[in-house]
Amino acid sequence: MTPLARLQTALPAFVSHLERERNASTHTVRAYSRDLQQFLDYLEVPSRVAAPIDHLAIRSFLAFLHGQGVSKSTSARKLAALRTFFRYLCREGILDKNPARALLSPKLDRKIPQRLEEADLSQLAEIKDKDSRSLRTRAIIELLYGTGIRCSELTGLDLTELDLGSRLARVLGKGRKERLVPFGRAAQVAIEAYLAVRSIGKNPSPALFTNGRGGRLTDRSVRRDLQGRVRQVALEQRVSPHTLRHAFATHLLQRGADLRSIQELLGHVSLSTTQRYTHVNTRQLLEIYRKSHPRA
């Protein structure tokens, strides 16, 4: 069996591993599957089929992507997919070493997260809701902003993982790591109002957020509902679940929370990742400096 054939055979099992063992989001599974399939298609060229799949083959693939005008961020994601795939193959004994391990990711331009003010959140959340769908959207906004959880974590929540009395949610994050996240009174009220009209359907789902048929709500539906609410209140900027996650971290930091605590709440392994989720304006930095530095 050629090296390429071995990879092709192992790909379906790897995709299953992402879904079941790593609890990867639907978006990640789809993106990694597409990226890896593109790499395998690239290796289908007759001159590459029987060649060793080493770091040189991966470099050649990255050079090909660059020639196609693929952005740095997309190339970095594709390299991350290859690293994860090859690490899995090493763990399963299919490969002896990870050929992508030594390759450096393209240096990305660090973007400041799109800023969402507290007043914008009030506009989105405090609109008068009249039907079950709008009540569901309000509960989603309040829970995303009130906890900072990811969209995949939100859609993965079951009713049994929510303690409304204590205002705590047990969240299953990346790598199937569980964490407890608190939420506030506003989220509690919004969830209770939504639960009173929540769709059950013929085959009741354990999911907290359900669609009109009673099935588990998807990431795509959450994003569509958010965009509908943005249009409804005529907010100029685009709002996604990730925007609310950024706002959660930024507003906590602005009100005095430390980065380590925010890191725990967000479920980040690295503090440097948490720093990218926060945005502190120049005026606030000057105020902190003047209050804190002995010679300010």
Percent of the chain with pLDDT over 90: 44
Burial of 177 (0-12, 13-18, 19+ CB in 10 A): exposed
With CA atoms as reference, report the closest residue to 172 among 154, 197, 159.
154
Contact 116, 164 (CB under 8 A): no
Q: How far is CA 286 from CA 117, 149, 282, in A?
A: 19, 30, 6
- The total of structural domains in the chain comes to 2
223 token code pair: 């994003």
Final residue in a domain of this structure, among 238, 270, 291: 238
Instruction: Quote the pLDDT of residue 50.
Output: 66
pLDDT digits 0-9 by tens, 162-185: 999 999 999 988 777 889 999 999
Burial of 127 (0-12, 13-18, 19+ CB in 10 A): middle
The CA distance from 236 to 260, in Å, is: 32
The CA distance from 39 to 57, in Å, is: 10
Query: Higher pLDDT residue, 110 or 229?
Result: 229
In a domain, 279, yes or no: no
In a domain, 74, yes or no: yes
Final residue in a domain of this structure, among 40, 75, 91: 91
Residues 35 and 122 reside in one and the same domain? no
Catalytic site positions: 150, 174, 242, 245, 268, 277
Residues 126 and 234 reside in one and the same domain? yes
Scanning the structure block, which residue is given the tokens 């959340």? 125
Q: pTM for the full model?
A: 0.67
Q: Residue 217: pLDDT band by 50, 70, 90 thresholds? A: very high
Element (H, E) at 182: strand 178-182
In a domain, 103, yes or no: no
What is the CATH classification number for the domain harbouring 17? 1.10.150.130
Residues 49 and 87 reside in one and the same domain? yes
Q: Which domain holds residue 65?
A: 3-91
The most confident of the ranges 91-100, 139-148, 269-278, 284-293 is 139-148
Number of other CB atoms surrounding residue 29 within 10 Å? 15
